[in-house]
Structure 1
Amino acid sequence: MLYLEDLKVGDHFKSREYEMSLQEIKQFAGAYDPQVFHTDEEQAKSHPVFQGIAASGWHTSAVTMRLWTECFPVAYGLIGSESSLRWPRPTRPGDRIHVEVEITAITPSKTRTDRAIVSYVTQAKNQHDDVLLISTTKIVVFKKDFKPE
């Protein structure tokens, strides 16, 4: 587990790879983002933007979250306070996603000395190093001497 004392600006973390299967893309989309460019290979071919089936951006985000939790194991969990994200390129069936995280700022709490807000940039990339997702995120990170109330 990582605590505030273990982190510094410029630290990098890299996850394992995760392969996106066609079946999983369709299953996720069917449950949470049922648009034809996520669910129907034939109809997706004629889509003016995707020109083929693509994973939902939310699916890519969910996989990114899973990979974050594995490569960036912060004590007490990744407690988000803010995030913004973009999907510059679609995730396709067979893409092997990995996540790269870089800490960009650490801002101590003004009222609670046992924690800080840690800001980081994440890039989810495929096997060709194409960026599929970029996010900037802020999380609460605790010091080792933190005592839950």
Structure 2
Amino acid sequence: MLYLEDIKIGDRFISREYEMTLEEIKQFAHAYDPQVFHTDEDQAKAHPIFQGIAASGWHTCAVTMRLWTECFPVAYGLIGSESNLRWPRPTRPGDKVHVEVEIVAITPSKSKTDRAIVSYVTQALNQNHDVLLISTTKIVVFKKEFKPA
């Protein structure tokens, strides 16, 4: 587990790969984002933007979250306070997604000296190093001295 003392600006974390399958893309879309460019291969081919089936951006986010938790093991979990994200390119069936995280800022709490807000930039990339998702996220990170109530 990582505590505030273990993290510095410029630190980088890289996850394992995760393969996006056609079946999983369709299952996620049917459950949470039922649009034809996520669920129907034939209709997706005719879409003016996607021109083929693409994973929901929220599916890419969910996979990114899974990979974050594995490669960036912060004590007490990734407690988000803010995130800004973009999807510059669609995630496709067969894409092998991995995430790269870089710490860009650490802002100590003024009122609670046992924690800080850590900002990091994440890129989710496929096997060709195409950026599928980019986000800037802020999380609460505790010092080793933190004692839960």
Give yes or no for TM over 0.5. yes
Distance 1:61 1:26 in 2: 15
Residue 101 of structure 1 deviates from its aligned partner by 0.2
User: What SS class does the counterpart of residue 93 from structure 1 fall into?
Assistant: coil
User: What SS class does the counterpart of residue 66 from structure 1 fall into?
Assistant: helix
Letter paired with 1:86: R
Deviation string 1:110-138 (CA, Å, 9 cap, x unpaired) is 00000000000000000000000000000
Letter paired with 1:108: P
Distance 2:84 2:59 in 1: 16
Distance 1:138 1:106 in 2: 9
- 1:49 equivalent to 2:37? Answer no
Q: Counterparts of 1:21-100 in structure 2 under 5 Å? A: 21-100=21-100
What's the C-alpha RMSD, in Å, of the aligned pairs?
Answer: 0.2
- 1:103 equivalent to 2:100? Answer no
User: What SS class does the counterpart of residue 49 from structure 1 fall into?
Assistant: coil
Distance 2:111 2:45 in 1: 54
Letter paired with 1:66: R
Distance 1:32 1:87 in 2: 17
Deviation string 1:60-99 (CA, Å, 9 cap, x unpaired) is 0000000000000000000000001000000000000000
Distance 2:82 2:42 in 1: 38
User: What SS class does the counterpart of residue 141 from structure 1 fall into?
Assistant: strand
| TM-score computed with the length of structure 2 as normaliser | 1.00
Report runs of 4+ in structure 1 exceeding 4 Å deviation.
Answer: none
| TM-score computed with the length of structure 1 as normaliser | 1.00
Residue 46 of structure 1 deviates from its aligned partner by 0.3
- 1:125 equivalent to 2:125? Answer yes
Residue 53 of structure 1 deviates from its aligned partner by 0.1
How many corresponding residue pairs? 149
Identity rate of aligned residues, in percent? 85
Mind listing any 5+ residue stretches in structure 1 that lack a counterpart? none
Match of 1:6 in 2: 6
Distance 2:29 2:19 in 1: 16
Distance 2:138 2:45 in 1: 37
Residue 104 of structure 1 deviates from its aligned partner by 0.2
